[in-house]
């Protein structure tokens, strides 16, 4: 039986690709929004009917191959789509100094403080300076200069261009400039490469450390590296103390989820717990949302790769 990959509720770049393909086939009469909703489900059903496939409206491996004529997206892409949705970010979104990290931009919220935002911008400029200048205009040199300054100076600059009572907004022309660059193929490729190298590969090492081999295990560790910076020493001690021989992987995932949440900042502790347990168990509400069903996001209790 062909495994389920994507269904109602799934979001992200992969779903956008599916929607564009359905539009090209004349089966979806709406704009691409990266959200697998009722209209997308109906269009998938219509495609399945045209190919004499079971009309489920869900995308299994057979439907994917027939529709997309491409390999199934790797677990890293599927995990990224989920975490990016939790984070509320896309490739283009830029925010101000709401959390002391300066500027936050991109698919998982690369920050000025963490250095990843600066690396992506500098790499983009090294590869295609004209493209970056077309986005930032006469602010380009100012941007590049700030990226080389000490953190205290960078933070003061970021604070000066942040807007709103919580400083979550970004003043123009900066907001539009980051959005314009984020919409380019170059920036999206560079962001994806940083995700893979700086977050997903370390996450796989963490999964290996704790004996997690499934797609859900990889997705959980990836989300921990993005949101929490990895499993801290106190959380690791708690996991070791409570692990027992023969414990199922699901139980280990739940143990890890709770240990990470218990050691999160108190203000966000229960939000972290909800999010991590949703991944660990394969289903759950996050940010008081409707339940996320992870098998519709291509993430299941199956050995991943």
Tell which residue, 4, 7, 9, has the closest CA to residue 284. Answer: 9
Mean pLDDT per 10-residue run, the chain (305 residues)? 91 95 96 95 97 97 96 95 91 94 95 96 98 98 97 97 96 98 96 95 97 98 95 97 96 98 93 97 88 96 84
Are residues 9 and 62 located together in one domain of the fold? yes
Tell which residue, 17, 22, 47, has the closest CA to residue 34. Answer: 17
Q: 144 in a domain, yes or no?
A: yes
Q: 301 in a domain, yes or no?
A: no
Q: What is the pLDDT of residue 169?
A: 96
Are residues 287 and 200 located together in one domain of the fold? yes
Q: What is the pTM of this model?
A: 0.91
The H-or-E segment that residue 239 falls in is: helix 233-242
Domain of 288 in residue numbering reads as 193-296
Are residues 141 and 211 located together in one domain of the fold? no
Are residues 154 and 229 located together in one domain of the fold? no
Among 132, 157, 182, residue at a domain's last position: 182
Q: What is the pLDDT of residue 304?
A: 76
Are residues 280 and 211 located together in one domain of the fold? yes
Place of tokens 């219509």: 46
Stated length of the chain: 305
Place of tokens 């830029």: 94
Q: 208 in a domain, yes or no?
A: yes
Q: Are 142 and 191 in contact (CB under 8 A)?
A: no
Q: 152 in a domain, yes or no?
A: yes
Domain with 52 in it: what CATH number? Answer: 1.10.101.10
Measured CA angle at 91 (ends 90, 93), to 5 deg: 65
Structurally, how many domains does the chain consist of?
3
Identify the three-state secondary structure at position 91: coil
Place of tokens 């300076």: 129
Q: What is the pLDDT of residue 290?
A: 80
Are residues 116 and 210 located together in one domain of the fold? no
Among 117, 147, 182, residue at a domain's last position: 182
Q: What is the pLDDT of residue 1?
A: 61
Among 182, 202, 222, residue at a domain's last position: 182
């Amino acid at each position: 039986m062909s495994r389920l990959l994507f269904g109602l509720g799934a979001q992200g770049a992969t779903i956008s690709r599916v929607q564009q393909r359905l539009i090209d086939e004349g089966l979806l009469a709406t704009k691409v929004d990266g959200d697998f909703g009722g209209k997308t489900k109906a269009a998938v059903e219509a495609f399945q009917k045209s190919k004499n496939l079971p009309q489920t409206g869900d995308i299994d491996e057979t439907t994917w191959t027939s529709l997309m004529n491409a390999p199934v997206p790797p677990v890293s892409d599927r995990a990224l789509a989920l975490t990016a949705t939790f984070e509320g970010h896309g490739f283009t979104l830029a925010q101000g100094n709401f959390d002391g990290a300066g500027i936050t931009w991109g698919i998982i919220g690369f920050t000025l403080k963490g250095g990843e935002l600066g690396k992506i911008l500098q790499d983009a400029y090294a590869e295609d300076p004209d493209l970056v200048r077309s986005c930032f205009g006469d602010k380009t040199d100012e941007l590049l200069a700030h990226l080389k300054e000490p953190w205290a100076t960078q933070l003061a600059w970021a604070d000066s261009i942040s807007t709103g009572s919580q400083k979550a907004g970004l003043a123009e022309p900066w907001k539009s400039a980051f959005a314009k660059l984020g919409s380019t193929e170059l920036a999206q490729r560079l962001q994806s490469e940083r995700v893979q190298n700086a977050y997903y590969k370390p996450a796989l090492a963490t999964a290996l450390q704790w004996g997690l081999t499934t797609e859900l295990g990889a997705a959980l560790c990836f989300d921990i590296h993005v949101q929490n910076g990895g499993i801290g020493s106190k959380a690791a001690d708690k996991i070791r103390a409570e692990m027992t021989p023969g414990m199922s992987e699901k139980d280990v995932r739940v143990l890890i989820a709770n240990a990470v949440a218990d050691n999160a900042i108190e203000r966000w502790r229960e939000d972290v717990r909800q999010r991590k347990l949703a991944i660990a168990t394969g289903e759950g509400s996050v940010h008081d949302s409707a339940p996320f069903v992870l098998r519709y996001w291509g993430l299941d209790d199956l050995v991943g790769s």
